[in-house]
Amino acid sequence: MILTVTLNTALDITYHVRELRPHASHRVTEVTERPGGKGLNVARVLAALGHEVSVTGFVGGVTGQALRDGLAHTPGVADALVPVSGPTRRTIAVVDTTTGDTTQLNEPGPQISPAEWSAFQEAYEILLRSASAVALCGSLPPGVPVGAYAQLVRTARALAVPVLLDTSGEPLRRGIAARPDIVKPNADELAELTGAHDPSQATRDARRRGAHTVVASLGARGLLARTPDGDWRATPPRTVRGNPTGAGDSAVAGLLSGLVERLPWPERLARAVALSAASVLAPVAGEFDRAAYEELLGRVGVTAEP
Catalytic positions, written as ranges: 249
Residue 102, judged by CB atoms within 10 A of its CB (0-12, 13-18, 19+), counts as middle
The contacts of residue 166 (CB under 8 Å, 6+ apart) are 38, 135, 136, 137, 138, 183, 184, 185, 248, 249, 252
Residues making up the chain, counted from first to last: 306
Which H or E run includes 119? helix 114-128
In degrees and rounded to multiples of 5, residue 166 shows phi and psi of -135, 90
- DSSP character string of 265-286: HHHHHHHHHHHHHHHHTSSSTT
CB count within 10 Å of CB 256 equals 31
